[in-house]
Amino acid sequence: MSLLQVSGLHTRYETNDGVLRAVDGVSFAIEAGETVGLVGESGCGKSTLGKTLVGLVPASEGEVTFDGAEISHLSPAALKPVRRRLQMIFQDPFGSLNPRQSIGQILTAPLAVHGVRSAAERRAQALAMVRRVGLPDDTLQRFPHEFSGGQRQRIGVARALILAPQLVVCDEPVSALDLSIQAQILNLLVEMKSELDLAYLFVSHDLSVVRYFADRVLVMYLGRIVESATYDTIWSRPRHPYTRALMEAVPDPLRRRTAAPLSGDLPSARNVPSGCRFHPRCPFATDLCRSADPALRSVEPGHEVACHHAEAIFAAAGATPPGAATVH
């Protein structure tokens, strides 16, 4: 049985301009100890999906089963024991820490909520965690503004892990950090994963980070998963034109390209295009794509794609990684 099983999940926001379908029918699973990367552009619904899984945003429809129990429609009280095992690390290490709480308060609060009665014990656990994430001992007495961005993200990691969860949703955990700090945090996440046997859902817009960090990759476009495969398959044999375009767009200093790969913007999730939602930006779109919504289907073991023409496009472009061959 999978640690997390998501089926037919929808998350909708009511807005003045109509219903925004942020997550529009998503199904996938995460195994214990597995790292799943979730990539897509801003507005594709990846952050909303992460927040829906941990219960920060209510699901509109569908099921989320965590460790055998359905959790998507629980009351906050009923969700409390689940939260201990299902945690989240946020993108902005500045905005996600209360500036008026000391790091000691920030780290001991979850322990108090989850029944560690002795204050001395809470303190000891917090100190051990602070040391574990590579911060000095006096961290507990200090406040968030006294730390740099990288240090604050270490505090964010410590807060998420102090309850020893099984699954951590990481929402763009290194995007706000300088390059020289990103590697430090990624390495820390890897170390903590092997020590605590964690599973991660790693949400990011940066395919190259996901490729390094994930066992399996989900590519999301406008509320849907359009491709799912292991990290080496997605890189060597991407099937969906959107996945290929995303790869093309990654600025790579060792590859000097000349043209912008993907035209247009992500359409609004209030007004999802007919048929395949990617068709207005897709260079391969046909009448079929404009009328019929492609389902996620298996093209080889462990590799699923939602594209009517995946085989034809793949045959035409060959197994050559994007960048070597231009598919547009």
Partner 1 sequence: MATTLLEVENLTVRFPRLAAVQDLSFSVGVGETLAIVGESGSGKSITALALMRLVPPPGRITGGSIRFDGRELTALPDAAMRKVRGAEIAMIFQEPMTSLNPVLTIGRQIGETVRLHEGVSRRIARARAIELLDLVRIPEPHRRVDDYPHQLSGGMRQRVMIAMAVICRPKLLIADEPTTALDVTIQAQVLALLDNLRRELSMGLLLITHDLGIVGQWADRVVVMYASRKVEEGSPDAILDAPWHPYTQGLMAASPRHAGDLHYRRTPLVEIPGSITSAFGETGCPFVPRCALAEARCREVVPPPLSLGDHLVACVRHDPFKEAADVALAG
Q: Which residues bind partner 1 (CB under 8 A)?
A: 35, 41-42, 148-151, 178-184, 186-187, 190, 205-209, 211-213, 215, 231-232, 245-246, 248-263, 265-266
What is the amino acid identity at position 65?
A: T
**Closer residue to partner 1 (CB): 66 or 242:** 242
Both tokens of 94, joined, read: 């500045």
In whole angstroms, how close is the CB of 167 to partner 1 at the nearest point?
A: 17
User: What is the pairing mode between strands 216-221 and 224-230?
Assistant: antiparallel
What is the amino acid identity at position 78?
A: A
Rounded Cα–Cα distance for residues 95 and 116 (Å): 27
In whole angstroms, how close is the CB of 4 to partner 1 at the nearest point?
A: 20
Rounded Cα–Cα distance for residues 25 and 51 (Å): 15
**Closer residue to partner 1 (CB): 35 or 60:** 35
**Closer residue to partner 1 (CB): 181 or 296:** 181
What is the amino acid identity at position 246?
A: L
**Closer residue to partner 1 (CB): 1 or 259:** 259
In whole angstroms, how close is the CB of 42 to partner 1 at the nearest point?
A: 5
Contacts of 86 (CB under 8 A, 6+ apart): 53, 54, 55, 66, 71, 165, 166, 167, 168, 169
**Closer residue to partner 1 (CB): 82 or 186:** 186
**Closer residue to partner 1 (CB): 7 or 184:** 184
Q: Computed from CA positions of residues 227, 229, 232, 236, in that sequence, does the dihedral angle turn out positive or negative?
A: negative
Q: Half-sphere exposure of residue 281, counting CA atoms within 13 Å on the CB side?
A: 21
Q: How far apart are the first and last CA of the chain?
A: 41
Tell me, what DSSP letter sits at residue 33?
Answer: T
Q: By CB neighbour count within 10 A (0-12 exposed, 13-18 middle, 19+ buried), where does 254 fall? A: exposed
Rounded Cα–Cα distance for residues 202 and 317 (Å): 29
In whole angstroms, how close is the CB of 314 to partner 1 at the nearest point?
A: 21
**Closer residue to partner 1 (CB): 223 or 261:** 261
**Closer residue to partner 1 (CB): 30 or 246:** 246
User: What is the pairing mode between strands 4-15 and 61-66?
Assistant: antiparallel
Rounded Cα–Cα distance for residues 185 and 152 (Å): 11
92 to 37, 171, 322: CA distances (angstroms): 19, 9, 31
Query: What percent of the chain is helix, strand and coil (3-state, nearest 5)?
Result: 35, 25, 40
**Closer residue to partner 1 (CB): 74 or 181:** 181
